[in-house]
Amino acid sequence: MKHLKKIFETKPKSEYVHEMFDKLAVDYDLMNNIISFGRHKFVKKHVIKNVPIRYGMNILDVCTGTGDIPLFIAKKFGNSVKIIGVDFSEKMLEIARKRNDKYDNAEFINADALNLPFEDKSFDVVFISFGLRNLADLRKGIIELQRVTKKGGYVVNLDMGKPKGIAGCMFRLYFYWLVPLLGKLFHGSSEPYVYLPESCESFPAQEELVRIFYELGFDDVKNYNFAFGALAQQIAKV
């Protein structure tokens, strides 16, 4: 955490994260494949499968990055659902639009996750993947997701978890030592991949996130662990 504290003394977290993801965009998909050994796509597809998506739904993907979630949903449901992807990095969105250009039901908008440009209760399902951890105010971000979700709809979060026991030790070894090295080798800079594990230090474990969702007024919050809890999904009913 010392590295991040030093950085955030000179610039706001939101500004640093914005600049970082603009720089990451060109290698983002490659690095995700390398760091996760290609498993991140498998996990995201299961995350979608765990949500009761039905034909005719309006779906929002916040912090969409290069558009994995919209792409997988569009492939599975076709034009029977409407998908909007939101990100504050225009460079990420440029890639997302190209990857989803075969699907006219997917739209991408540059916007701030803490101030979404949508009316209350606009969407049946709202996804956010590896985004809550990067927000300047986690609770405010969750409340904003809740605001744009219809009553009876779902807010779905996927992010890093905190595995326990031997799995936790192995996870920390990989995350703190090998991931920055892979960043240096394949991206040319280890800094974003030092930020990645350090940003998880202050991020709540999956059990705590479930409690926070309940505190903020959600119902029937479910948690699904992947990779022995290194990744975790919460599905919170509005």
- CA–CA distance, 36 with 30 (Å, rounded to integer): 10
The amino acid sitting at 106 is A
Residue 180 reports pLDDT greater than 70: yes
pLDDT of residue 7: 57
Would you place residue 232 in the very low, low, confident or very high pLDDT band (cuts 50, 70, 90)?
very high
Residue 90 reports pLDDT greater than 80: yes
Would you place residue 13 in the very low, low, confident or very high pLDDT band (cuts 50, 70, 90)?
confident
Q: Is 20 helix (H, G, I), strand (E, B) or coil?
A: helix
pLDDT of residue 192: 79
Give pairs for 208-213: CB < 8 Å, separation 24+: 209/157, 209/234, 210/234, 212/138, 212/139, 212/142, 213/142, 213/155
pLDDT of residue 6: 56
Q: Quick one: CA torsion of 89, 115, 233, 80, rounded to 10 degrees? A: -80
Residue 10 reports pLDDT greater than 70: no
For residues 37 and 105, is the Cβ–Cβ distance under 8 A? Answer: no
pLDDT of residue 194: 82
Give one DSSP letter per residue of 116-164, joined into a string. Answer: -SS-TT-EEEEEEES-GGGSS-HHHHHHHHHHTEEEEEEEEEEEE----
Would you place residue 38 in the very low, low, confident or very high pLDDT band (cuts 50, 70, 90)?
confident
CB proximity list for 125: less than 8 A, separation 6 or greater: 51, 53, 57, 59, 60, 149, 153, 154, 156
pLDDT of residue 8: 54
What does the block give as tokens for 135? Answer: 């927000």
Mean pLDDT of 4-18: 70
pLDDT of residue 36: 87
For residues 25 and 95, is the Cβ–Cβ distance under 8 A? Answer: yes
Closest CA to 98 of 110, 106, 87: 106
- Residue ranges per structural domain of the chain: 2-237
Mean pLDDT of 186-200: 81
User: Tens digit of pLDDT for each residue in 60-84?
Assistant: 999 999 999 999 999 999 889 999 9
User: Tens digit of pLDDT for each residue in 137-164?
Assistant: 999 999 999 999 999 999 999 999 999 8
% of the chain beyond a pLDDT of 90: 65
Pairing state of beta strands 149-160 and 231-237? antiparallel
What backbone torsions phi and psi does residue 55 show, to the nearest 5 degrees? Answer: -60, 140
CATH class of the domain defined by 2-237: alpha beta
pLDDT-wise least confident of 8-17, 134-143, 151-160, 224-233? 8-17
| Unique residue bearing structure tokens 């009316």 | 119
Mean pLDDT of 12-34: 87
- CA–CA distance, 113 with 145 (Å, rounded to integer): 8
Q: What radius of gyration, in Å, describes the C-alpha atoms of the chain?
A: 17
